Structure 1
Amino acid sequence: MTPRDAADANSSRWSDLERPPLGVTALRRGLVREGGLWSGIEVVQRTGSTNSDLVARVAAGTAAEGAVLVAEEQTAGRGRLDRRWSAPARSGLFFSVYLRPAEVPVARWGWLPLLTGVAVATGLSRAAGVDTALKWPNDLLVTVGGEERKAGGILAERAGPDGVVVGVGVNVSLRAGELPVPQAGSLALAGAVTTDRDPLLRAVLRSLEDWYGRWRAADGDPGPSGVQETYAAGCATLGRTVRAELPGDRSVVGEAIAVDGDGRLVLATPDGLREPVGAGDIVHLRPA
């Protein structure tokens, strides 16, 4: 075997037996069905960003609603505020979905990343047996050694005139020495009963189909659909003193007391005001 052959073998999809590849045929069989949301599932070995790829496919007219694009490895994943997200191959769930909620008023589309957070948290709690929480607006938290750690994130982007691409990244089997920053976590480090990504991905996509269907049936109203109540129940930000770092180098400190009907975080400030925050970075300053 030549050195090049050896390198290729070491980088093959079976080089880490603890992290087997996703079974795309079984995923399609379990998720793509007549009358269902998911129209197709594609798994690629490596890409920069599934969100960027799927947005480009929408622009080119080659993606139907319900398209799911999954990457075994994502090298330039993006989070909020253009933060980068990367992880070892097959160590997590890295995927994007294309949604077209045409009957829902555009003003309510801001609930899509929060809705996705609810779906991911409930799906993973059910399949991995890990208690999960949501940090407003779209971070997934797990507990590792008694400490809250970020294990995932969600990014929604407009795609075409009437669609949205929602991307999800979740650390599944990352070991302590592989964490990008000490504050990160993974399902494995949180004591997951399984790190088999096939059932985890199926659980998350089924949960997302369910919550998205409820939301659409309610014309995107977060109250009747149950999304607002469920998000608030699982939101680790509520009840805490937080600092909201806002656009324009402004910051507000207050107690997070609610998520309003527009998906904004409502802060009670020390001077007695109620300030809704619709965009910005939230820093938890004390436990609930």
Structure 2
Amino acid sequence: MTEDRPRRSGLRGFGHEGPSPWTDLDRPPLDAAALRHDLLVPGGLWTALDVVEVTGSTNTDLTERARAGAAEGTVLIAERQDAARGRLDRRWSAPARSGLFMSMLLRPTVPRERLGWLPILVGVSVASTLSRIAGVQPGLKWPNDLQVEIDGAERKLGGILTELTGEAVVVGLGLNVSLRAEELPVPTAASLALAGAEVTDRATLLRALLREFAELYGDWQEAHGDPQASGLLPAYTGRCTTLGRQVRVQLPGDRELLGEAVALDGDGRLVVRTADGTRQAVGAGDVVHVRPEPR
């Protein structure tokens, strides 16, 4: 994305003599103390929450904490990332305070083969939250993209990255909140502001999102990771923009798989039915890209 172009202000406030503590008044910083007060409650999932001004990657930082024994429910949020990673080590950056750039440390007790449902669980949590409080109806592109329709075109609103480290899973989320049209990295990107969201206050979104995720994660854990019993599978299929479409799946080794995306299997893999009727399941780690074919 483009470099942030701050707008300078001579306003004073927040007990400071001098300029405002941030230069873009549409993008105030997150208040870590207030977030901890609201989210770190006895018996709840969330156990620690930090907000840093800038870091390379919240996933990388939290992975290091996980290896050092950090507790489940640790959340790390960055106002800006300068070496953020998507799947397959794709790189991206965004102006400071223009989105939610965060990672969560989880230590799920479900069977290991069901961990592939975690990015799907995050996607459902985000989509449900945005639908409820922001008036935006995101679609979920398998395995880890959040989409929104603008002017009849599907555009990327955010992405999810999960990384396994020992018995822990670090789940990263990047969600574009206030990006302006001139700041978009590509025309196929989007933000909540550009989608006409009713709420774009990051603290409000963050609190709602973490509470929603904690509830769904608890249900999923209680169901031992069973996507049907926990309600995760029907919740996802109702929002998935990939199922029922012709897709071209690009696989490692310059291989391609063409067919209709017909289902998810019990481990969260995409099942593609080829022209000869054969069904093949592909996992998120095996897929370079999934692109809907023209209807």
TM over 0.5: yes
Structure 2 counterparts to residues 277-288 of structure 1, below 5 A: 277-278=282-283, 279-280=286-287, 281-287=289-295
Which residue of structure 2 lines up, in the alignment, with residue 4 of structure 1?
Answer: none
Aligned partner of 2:101 among 87, 94, 98: 94
Q: Which SS does the other structure have where 1:151 is aligned?
A: strand
Structure 2 counterparts to residues 74-89 of structure 1, below 5 A: 74-89=81-96
Question: 1:240 touches 1:286 (CA, 8 Å); kept in 2?
Answer: no
Classify 1:12/1:249 alpha carbon distance in 2 versus 1 (closer, same or farther; 3 Å): farther
Structure 2 counterparts to residues 1-288 of structure 1, below 5 A: 13-61=21-69, 63-101=70-108, 103-159=109-165, 161-278=166-283, 279-280=286-287, 281-287=289-295
Which amino acid is 1:225 matched to? S
Classify 1:270/1:12 alpha carbon distance in 2 versus 1 (closer, same or farther; 3 Å): farther
Deviation at 1:130, TM superposition (A): 0.6
In 2: Cα distance, 1:134 partner to 1:207 partner:
17
Render the CA deviation track for 1:93-119: whole Å, top value 9, x for unaligned.
000000001x31111111111111111
Which amino acid is 2:90 matched to? R
Render the CA deviation track for 1:248-267: whole Å, top value 9, x for unaligned.
21101111111111101111
Deviation at 1:238, TM superposition (A): 0.8
User: What is the TM-score when the length of structure 2 is the normalising length?
Assistant: 0.90
In 1: Cα distance, 2:294 partner to 2:117 partner:
26
Task: Could you tell me which runs of 5 or more consecutive residues in structure 1 were left unpaired when the two chains were aligned.
Answer: 1-6
Runs of 4+ in 1 over 3 A off after TM superposition: none
Q: Which SS does the other structure have where 1:275 is aligned?
A: strand
In 2: Cα distance, 1:125 partner to 1:73 partner:
25
Which residue of structure 1 lines up, in the alignment, with residue 13 of structure 2?
Answer: none
Which amino acid is 2:147 matched to? L
Deviation at 1:60, TM superposition (A): 2.4
Deviation at 1:70, TM superposition (A): 0.3
Which amino acid is 1:156 matched to? T
Deviation at 1:85, TM superposition (A): 2.1
Question: 1:32 touches 1:40 (CA, 8 Å); kept in 2?
Answer: yes
Which amino acid is 2:206 matched to? L
In 2: Cα distance, 1:268 partner to 1:245 partner:
15
Render the CA deviation track for 1:175-217: whole Å, top value 9, x for unaligned.
0000011111111111101211001011111111011101100
Counting aligned pairs with the same residue, the percent is 60
Which amino acid is 1:162 matched to? E
In 2: Cα distance, 1:136 partner to 1:275 partner:
15
Task: Could you tell me which runs of 5 or more consecutive residues in structure 2 were left unpaired when the two chains were aligned.
Answer: 1-7, 11-18
User: What is the TM-score when the length of structure 1 is the normalising length?
Assistant: 0.93
In 2: Cα distance, 1:16 partner to 1:267 partner:
46
Question: 1:228 touches 1:261 (CA, 8 Å); kept in 2?
Answer: no
Render the CA deviation track for 1:9-65: whole Å, top value 9, x for unaligned.
9x985100000011212211111100000001100000110000000111223x211
Which amino acid is 2:169 matched to? V
Which amino acid is 1:112 matched to? L
Deviation at 1:286, TM superposition (A): 2.7
Question: 2:273 touches 2:280 (CA, 8 Å); kept in 1?
Answer: yes
Q: Which SS does the other structure have where 1:55 is aligned?
A: helix
How many residue pairs get aligned? The number is 277
- The alignment's C-alpha RMSD in Å is 1.7
Question: 2:116 touches 2:269 (CA, 8 Å); kept in 1?
Answer: no
In 2: Cα distance, 1:233 partner to 1:13 partner:
43
In 1: Cα distance, 2:208 partner to 2:259 partner:
36
In 2: Cα distance, 1:266 partner to 1:12 partner:
53
Q: Which SS does the other structure have where 1:37 is aligned?
A: coil
In 2: Cα distance, 1:249 partner to 1:171 partner:
31
